[in-house]
Amino acid sequence: MSDATDLTNEALIAIRRHLHAHPELSLKEFETKAYLKGVIQAFDQTHISYREVESVPTALLVRIAGSAPQRTIGYRTDIDALPVTEATDLSFQSQNSGIMHACGHDMHMTVALGILNHFANHQPKDNLVFLFQPAEENFSGGERVYKSGALSDEFLPEEIYGLHDNPELASGVIATRLGTLFAGTTEIHVTFTGEGGHAAFPHRANDAIIAASAFVMQVQTIVSRRVDPIKGGVVTLGTFTAGTIGNVIAETAHIDGTIRGLQQDTIELIQGQVRQIAKGIGVTYGVTVDLELRQDGYLPVENNPDLTQQFITYMTQNENVDFQIVGPAMTGEDFGYLLSKIPGTMFWLGVESPYALHSSHLAPKETALEKGVQAMTGFLEWRMQQD
């Protein structure tokens, strides 16, 4: 055992504030990775080894060799931020204009470092593999890392855990459920091309805004009229870009959005309906419709029944943990892809904020950091004693 003490609450907060001030977008997390590696290299290195991922250069794998390993346990944190302009008045707010840790991945990374530091100081019985994963918000980083083959040999976890922060839960609450925790998603990217012209002569042009607007309205009938209401689903269109000036008829209109469903068959049903509506709009309005639907690794997040039952048993029995069973949420997570390959559990960590995930005002409570580290190190130590 090392003489070093575990990271204090103050040290965790300092790390989180540095990460919060320096957010980077998906697949561009170069400084974030360098900072994480620097922090980890200051820990006791006796049992630690590293693996880089050539095709995903901002990813980092860190392994701690166990003392009497029966298995290899994985822990994953995402590391990317969002294209959101921060509107908090925090003293450590984002220094990277237009980019913010508005989904709390700064909190996720800090908890992961706290757990890693604990096991660098106290050699675990089983092997541990930490995945610092880029591109959760976009570009499906989990799938990329998995497909690179980097999670192999001694870096292949037999089970894997990961958390997401939750502003609606009190600080430090741990919550999960058996079965599906998060939705699967599909990005919608669609461009309508008509014919531009003078605003005064609409009959000589073909207005892309009219066609795109009809698309917006028609896709809103999918969930209300095509999806089983017991199953539910979401179609949200988050961008609508068209035209250049008020007196010119727009030649093109572009829309981005996202589909959500808790079952893969619901997602595929909605995808099919979106395709059909896009095709119909092309015919009815005489425009060209370029539709791209991308699911990549954003599969529904399915918790493994046995491992999640063990997780729930530990968290429920530990009087220092405030644990709740929760319902599923329509947030997406490419951890769904990793869980389709490696059994495990995703769980929420409460961070108690009046603002939602992806809000420019999101300000997670830092008291959640130490509680998250303690709950997870306790669980892993307990798990390593199980057969």
Ligand X SMILES: CC(=O)N[C@@H](CCC[C@H](N)C(=O)O)C(=O)O
User: Helix crossing, 367-383 with 305-317: angle to 10°?
Assistant: 120
> Which residue, 126 or 137, is less far from ligand X as judged by CB?
137
**Given 137, 143, 207, 352, the residue binding ligand X (CB under 6 A):** 137
Query: What residues are annotated to the active site?
Result: 78, 137
- The reply to whether 332 sits near ligand X by the rule CB under 6 A is yes
Q: At closest approach, how far in Å is the CB of 295 from ligand X?
A: 8
> Which residue, 137 or 159, is less far from ligand X as judged by CB?
137
Segment near ligand X (CB under 6 A); pick from 38-46, 154-162, 215-223, 331-339: 331-339
> Which residue, 204 or 275, is less far from ligand X as judged by CB?
275
- The reply to whether 236 sits near ligand X by the rule CB under 6 A is no
**Given 6, 187, 302, 370, the residue binding ligand X (CB under 6 A):** 187
- The reply to whether 25 sits near ligand X by the rule CB under 6 A is no
Q: Contact, 16 vs 107, CB < 8 A?
A: yes
> Which residue, 18 or 358, is less far from ligand X as judged by CB?
358
Distance CA 171, CA 107 (A): 12
**Given 131, 135, 269, 357, the residue binding ligand X (CB under 6 A):** 357
Query: What's the number of CA atoms in the CB half-sphere (13 Å) around residue 115?
Result: 34
Applying CB under 6 A, the site for ligand X has a residue count of 12
**Given 331, 359, 360, 367, the residue binding ligand X (CB under 6 A):** 331
154 is in an annotated binding site: no
Residue nearest to ligand X (CB): 185
22 is in an annotated binding site: no
> Which residue, 173 or 210, is less far from ligand X as judged by CB?
173
Segment near ligand X (CB under 6 A); pick from 11-19, 60-68, 312-320, 329-337: 329-337
**Given 185, 191, 345, 377, the residue binding ligand X (CB under 6 A):** 185
- The reply to whether 80 sits near ligand X by the rule CB under 6 A is no
- The reply to whether 258 sits near ligand X by the rule CB under 6 A is yes
164 is in an annotated binding site: yes
Of residues 152 through 181, those in contact with ligand X by CB under 6 A are 164
159 is in an annotated binding site: no
- The reply to whether 298 sits near ligand X by the rule CB under 6 A is yes
- The reply to whether 333 sits near ligand X by the rule CB under 6 A is yes
Chain-centre distance for alpha carbon 124: 27
> Which residue, 293 or 375, is less far from ligand X as judged by CB?
293
197-198/179-182 β-pairing:
unpaired
CB-based burial, 295-311: b 16+ in 10 Å, e otherwise: bbbbbbbbbbeebbebb
**Given 77, 110, 138, 191, the residue binding ligand X (CB under 6 A):** 138
198 is in an annotated binding site: no
List residues near ligand X by CB under 6 A: 103, 137-138, 164, 185, 187, 258, 298, 331-333, 357
